[in-house]
Amino acid sequence: MPSVHVVKPGLLTTVQDRGRWGSQSLGVSVSGPMDSYSHRLANAIGGNDAGAATLEVTLSGPELEFDDTRTVAVTGAEFELTVDGRPVAMRSALDVSAGSLLRFGRRVRGARAYVAISGGITTPRALGSRSTHLPSSMGGLDGRALRAGDRLPLGEPLQSPRPVRRSQPVESSSTWTLPDGRATLRVLPGPQLDRFVRTAWDVLQSAPYVVANDSNRIGYRLVGPSLETPGKLDLISDATPLGVLQVPPSGQPILLMADCQTTGGYPKIAAVISADVSVAGQLGPGDTVRFVGCSTREALSALIAQERSLMAAARL
């Protein structure tokens, strides 16, 4: 079976597809890419279906050696890249052949990059998805991050070759802005906003929050203005969607990300809009984030704009 050889794994590199939907009622997290926009853009440039599995690279990248001729695309966080020692561009269709070595160099900005390989990564599905969920060791390659020496099976590239080969990079899109140490995320009021003190919604938007060191694919611990509730709340646990800002008794919010649990009992003050969750996926420890309220109409417009740019990239 054709495969890609992991020469160096990078800091935390995992297999991700669109996520494990449909089993949250059994306690199974969705997981999937932290930045789904860049994940889909990589598949679009690499000539894959939107559902193909890619590699999510975190902060420092891998070295990958190929077995056969493939098209590769790298999106998301800005890295210096080489193929067989020659610098190559991100967000472009890269041709590799048997023995080619794709090497990630210095990271310029952003936290997570996505590597799409034509044919997609075809590790076995678990409950319908190839996404790696690290806390439960499910999906991906044996439920874990990549290690040196791993071989990842690849699928057959799609039959119809793209009519026009694209070697020029896809322009960075105004519908998704790669954070350079700071980001502004648009939020909608959460279902328990009324459980907080009256000023909490304004406090949330009053100053930036810092992403703490113990932040990961499960969620970001944020340090900043305290979000208070009058007295101790005793809520009945319910569902905890991606992008929700939940607030434990400390008053310091946690932004729930891709690997978050399916349920939780902390009040949810706000939810980051879908289009901006992809931007949040590019934040790392020490980065700052500012929240700004928006309307549901604006949330939908932003998502439609991203969808348009992804469809345009797939057509190129």
Partner 1 sequence: MSTFRIVPVGDATMVVEFEERIDPAVNARAIAAAEALRAATIPGVRDVVPTYRSVAVYYDPLLTDYERLVWRLEDAIAAPAPAASIAHARIRVPVCYGGDFGPDLPEIARFADASEAEVIEIHISRIYRVFMLGFMPGFAYMGLVDSRIAVPRRETPRVRVPPGSVCVAGVQTSVHPVEAPSGWHLIGRTPVRPFDASRRDPFLMKPADEVQFYPIGRDEFDHLDRAQASR
Element spanning 103, H or E: strand 101-117
273 binds partner 1 (CB under 8 A): yes
- Are residues 180 and 286 in contact, defined by beta-carbon separation less than 8 angstroms? no
**124: Cα within 13 Å, side-chain hemisphere:** 5
Which residue, 139 or 157, is less far from partner 1 as judged by CB? Answer: 139
Closest CB 284 distance from partner 1, rounded Å: 23
Selected from 41, 204, 299, 313, the binder of partner 1 by CB under 8 A is: 299
Among 159, 160, 174, 296, binds partner 1 (CB under 8 A): 296
> Phi and psi dihedrals of 264, rounded to 5?
-170, 165
Contact 11, 58 (CB under 8 A): yes
Beta-carbon contacts of 149 under 8 Å, excluding residues fewer than 6 positions away, are 6
Position among 268, 278, 283, 288 found at the interface with partner 1 (CB under 8 A): 268
Could you say whether residue 98 binds partner 1 (CB under 8 A)?
A: no
Q: Where in 4-23 is the site for partner 1 (CB under 8 A)?
A: 21-23
Q: Between residues 3 and 262, which has the closer beta carbon with respect to partner 1?
A: 262
Neighbouring CB atoms inside 10 A of 299's CB total: 19
240 DSSP assignment = -
210 binding partner 1? (CB under 8 A): no
Nearer to partner 1, 122 or 246 (CB): 246
CA–chain centroid gap for 289, Å, is: 16
Q: Which is nearer to partner 1, 71 or 173 (CB)?
A: 173
- Residue 307 interacting with partner 1 (CB under 8 A): yes
CB 234 within 8 A of CB 192: no
Q: According to CB under 8 A, which one of 105, 263, 311, 315 is a site residue for partner 1?
A: 263
204: closest CA among 213, 215, 196, 195?
Answer: 196
* Interface with partner 1, residue 136, by CB under 8 A: yes
Backbone torsion region of residue 80, taken as left when φ is above 0, otherwise alpha when ψ lies between -120 and 50, otherwise beta: beta
Instruction: Return the number of the residue (215 or 246) whose C-beta is nearest partner 1.
Output: 246
Cα separation, 173 vs 98, in Å, equals: 32
Interaction between residue 108 and partner 1 (CB under 8 A): no
Q: Is 126 in the site for partner 1 (CB under 8 A)?
A: yes
- Does 314 interact with partner 1 (rule: CB under 8 A)? no
Please say whether the beta carbons of 147 and 56 come within 8 A. no
Residue 159 engages partner 1 in binding (rule: CB under 8 A): no
Out of 5, 8, 12, 24, name the contact with partner 1 by CB under 8 A: 24
Q: Which residue lies nearer to partner 1 by CB, 95 or 307? A: 307
Q: Residue 58 pairs with which residues in a beta bridge?
A: 112
Does 292 bind partner 1 (CB under 8 A)? Our answer is no
Task: Read off the amino acid at residue 266.
Answer: Y
In 26-181, where do the E strands start and end? Answer: 54-58, 63-66, 70-83, 86-88, 94-96, 101-117, 151-153
Q: How far is 30 from 113, CA to CA, in rounded Å? A: 19
By CB under 8 A, tell whether 236 contacts partner 1.
Answer: yes
Among 10, 33, 120, 243, contact with partner 1 (rule: CB under 8 A)? 243
- State the residues that interact with partner 1 by CB under 8 A: 21-28, 30, 126-127, 135-138, 188, 190-191, 236-239, 241, 243-244, 261-264, 268, 271-274, 296, 299-300, 303-304, 307
